Amino acid sequence: MRRGLLLSLLLHCTLVLFFVFNVPHMILPEPEVTYMNVKLVSSPDAARSPKPKKPTPVKTQQSAAPKEAPKPKKKKVEAPKRDTKVVDTSKSKLKQQVKKEEPKPTKQEESVKEEPIGRPPKLDKTPNKKNLMAEQGKPTSEPKEEDFLQALDFIEDIQDKKSAMEVSDLETEPTVFDETQGEVASLKRLIEKNWYRTPGVAGLDRMQVVVMIRVNRDGTISSMDIVQSSGRTSFDNSILRAVRKSVPLPIPEGKYEIFRTIQISFNR
């Protein structure tokens, strides 16, 4: 009785062990293939490829950009209401200035009279700005072959070094944002080219401006709000003017979702 129990236990164990070690080999052929997944690193689908569960330290700027994004987005949702007010006060300030400035006649200029005047008569507006400027450069979004080959080279390196840090670095560097960066940079250059800022203005070092822009698909502006004013109407205006002058904004094809809200800021 006892021996039978022992025997059956032994038999069971061997059976279990056999299955545990041998069957997977038979069912899943060549498991090594799985690690080749890493080659997807530089394709746009990288985000979907399996990742190690280790927390991936964000090192490069490119990877930081998309991750930080949600915060300002939230702020922005509340902000516009306040912003429109900022714009309004700046307008009324302008009026106040005009009114405040009273003639202080000296002996010579006693007869000079100065008065503020209101809005101009209705003028015919010509809102058709769309076709004024030529279309800007178009984007290229397909992953290139070289990228893939480069990724393979990297994999070899990684295998040599066995450094987990570098693996995760590579994996959090999707090409999509590399390309967006180039487009953002060219948009920045365009706006800066149209921006005339008085050099040497007192207090330029302390000025901070944040402007939120909502863009239509055709690159025109659907709304523009000052989230943070520099406190100087002339300076705020100069930035708004530069953006308007850059219309139609060069929105890369197929990336409207990314470019529909743009935050423009200045701070020294």
Partner 1 sequence: MKYMKKLFTPALTLSTFFMLSVLMFAQPAQALVKIRLTDANADPMPIALTNFSGATSEENDLGKRMVGLISNNLKNTGLFNNISERAFLQSDDSLRLNGPIFKEWRLINADVLLVGTIEIIGPETSQPKMRVVYRLYDVHDEKQLAAKAYTASLEFWRHIGHRVSDDIYTTLTGEKGYFASRIVYIGEDAPRGMKIVRKRLCVMDQDGGSQQCLTDGKALVLTPRFSPNSQTIIYMSYANGKPRLYLLDLPTGEQTILGDFEGLNSSPQFSPDGESVAMTLTMGHEGNPEVYTMDLKKRKLKRLTTYRGIDTSPSYSPDGKKIVFNSDRAGKPALYIMDTDGNRVQRLTYGEGRYYAPTWSPRGDLIAFVKQLNGKFHIGVIDPEGTEERLLTEGYLDESPTWSPNGRVIVFTRQQRSGDTHVYSIDLTGYNLRRLPTPTQASDPAWSPLIK
Among residue numbers 131 through 160, which ones bind partner 1 (CB under 8 A)?
132
Residue with smaller CB distance to partner 1, 92 or 108: 108
Residue with smaller CB distance to partner 1, 125 or 162: 125
Residue from the set 138, 188, 206, 217 that interacts with partner 1 by CB under 8 A:
188
Residue with smaller CB distance to partner 1, 151 or 240: 240
- We find the least distance from the C-beta atom of residue 201 to partner 1, in angstroms, to be 6
130 binds partner 1 per the rule CB under 8 A: no
For residue 78, the SS3 value is helix
CB of 181 within 8 A of CB of 65? Answer: yes
Measuring CA to CA, how many Å separate 9 from each of 3, 17, 231? 10, 12, 84
- We find the least distance from the C-beta atom of residue 71 to partner 1, in angstroms, to be 9
Residue from the set 79, 170, 227, 239 that interacts with partner 1 by CB under 8 A:
239
Residue from the set 48, 81, 100, 125 that interacts with partner 1 by CB under 8 A:
125
CB of 179 within 8 A of CB of 139? Answer: yes
Measuring CA to CA, how many Å separate 108 from each of 100, 103, 111, 116, 249? 22, 12, 8, 22, 52
- We find the least distance from the C-beta atom of residue 119 to partner 1, in angstroms, to be 7
C-alpha–C-alpha distance, residues 98 and 117, integer Å: 8
3-state secondary structure 26-60: HHCCCHHHHHHHHHHHHCHHHHHCCCCCCCCCCCC
Residue from the set 22, 140, 163, 234 that interacts with partner 1 by CB under 8 A:
234
Among 4-12, 21-29, 140-148, 198-206, the segment contacting partner 1 (CB under 8 A): 198-206
Residue with smaller CB distance to partner 1, 39 or 197: 197
- We find the least distance from the C-beta atom of residue 39 to partner 1, in angstroms, to be 24
C-alpha–C-alpha distance, residues 246 and 192, integer Å: 9
Subset of 30-59 contacting partner 1 (CB under 8 A): none
Subset of 95-124 contacting partner 1 (CB under 8 A): 98, 103-109, 111-121, 123-124
Residue with smaller CB distance to partner 1, 39 or 244: 244
C-alpha–C-alpha distance, residues 26 and 46, integer Å: 31
Please choose, from the candidates 225, 144, 238, the residue with its C-alpha nearest in 3D space to the C-alpha of residue 199. Answer: 238
Subset of 61-80 contacting partner 1 (CB under 8 A): 65-67, 69-70, 72-73, 76
Residue with smaller CB distance to partner 1, 39 or 214: 214
C-alpha–C-alpha distance, residues 157 and 262, integer Å: 39
Residue with smaller CB distance to partner 1, 18 or 196: 196
Residue 224 DSSP label: E
Residue from the set 171, 235, 248, 250 that interacts with partner 1 by CB under 8 A:
235
Which H or E run includes 22? helix 2-27
CB of 189 within 8 A of CB of 249? Answer: no
